[in-house]
Amino acid sequence: MHEVTLGIGSNMPYRSMPPIDIVKAACAELRPLFVSFAASSLYRTQALYIADQSDFYNMVVCGAVREGLTPHDLLCEIHKIEAKYGRNRKKEVRFGPRSLDIDIELFGDMEIDDETLTIPHPRMRERAFVLVPFLEILKRRVRGDDDRGEVSLLIKKYGADLEKLSDQRIERCSD
Q: Which of 52, 94, 101, 125 is catalytic?
A: 101
Judge contact between 4 and 74, C-beta under 8 A.
yes
Specify whether 98 is catalytic. Answer: yes
Tell how many helices (H) and how many strands (E) occur in the chain: 4, 8
Q: Which of 103, 109, 113, 145 is catalytic?
A: 103
Specify whether 175 is catalytic. Answer: no
Closest CA to 85 of 173, 23, 130, 5: 23
Specify whether 109 is catalytic. Answer: no
Total residue length of the chain = 175
Q: In degrees rounded to 5, what are phi and psi of residue 38?
A: -135, 135
Q: Which of 94, 98, 125, 161 is catalytic?
A: 98
Specify whether 145 is catalytic. Answer: no
Q: Which of 21, 87, 141, 147 is catalytic?
A: 87
Written as one letter, the residue type at 82 is E
Catalytic residue ranges: 87, 98, 101, 103
